[in-house]
């Protein structure tokens, strides 16, 4: 194989071309590629951080939601207890008031009954005295009248 000047010239041109590319063209291309690679890796890291933040936010949200549900349930329980207490107090007051009314009514009935008995006794004693006066045709004195009333009351 014979090496001629053309082949030698082409080899020198090729070496010069590679050297120029190596010195002036490859470094900017490599810099752009490295910058792009860095942007992609930064983007992936940011996406991972965002995903982690999303998971943390989701956990925090679930915890806050559970906490809010627990507080709501506690408030509902307290409201139910308070309403039961209010109803119980109202029933107790109503029962006390009913007992007072019944006691007052019983006392009024007893007073009216005693009053009616007293009126009946006095009317009865008047009728008895009138009848006795008519029968005996004489008037009874007030001392005898009181004495007859006491006897009649004792017999009843």
Q: What is the mean pLDDT of residues 77-98?
A: 92
More confident residue, 88 or 132: 88
Task: Say if residue 37's pLDDT is above 60.
Answer: yes
> What span, in angstroms and rounded, lies between the C-alpha atoms of 101 and 124?
33
Question: CA-to-CA distance for 129 and 115, rounded, in angstroms?
Answer: 21
Q: Where are the beta strands (DSSP E) in the chain?
A: none
> Residue 55 pLDDT more than 60?
yes
The full length of the chain comes to 156
Average pLDDT over residues 117-139: 73
- pLDDT for the residue 74: 94
Average pLDDT over residues 119-143: 71
Q: In 3D, which of 114, 95, 115, 91 has the Cα closest to residue 103?
A: 95
């Amino acid at each position: 194989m014979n090496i001629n000047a053309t082949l030698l010239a082409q080899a020198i041109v090729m070496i010069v071309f590679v050297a120029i590319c190596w010195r002036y063209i490859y470094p900017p291309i490599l810099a752009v590629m490295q910058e792009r690679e860095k942007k992609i890796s930064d983007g992936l890291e940011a996406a991972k951080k965002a995903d982690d933040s999303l998971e943390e936010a989701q956990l925090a949200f679930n915890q806050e939601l559970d906490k809010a549900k627990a507080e709501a349930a506690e408030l509902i329980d307290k409201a139910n207890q308070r309403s039961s207490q209010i109803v119980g107090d109202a029933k107790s007051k109503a029962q006390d008031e009913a007992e007072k009314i019944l006691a007052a009514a019983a006392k009024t009935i007893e007073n009216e009954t005693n009053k009616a008995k007293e009126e009946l006794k006095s009317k009865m004693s008047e009728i008895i005295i009138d009848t006795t006066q008519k029968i005996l045709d004489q008037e009874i004195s007030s001392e005898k009248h009181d004495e007859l009333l006491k006897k009649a009351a004792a017999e009843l």
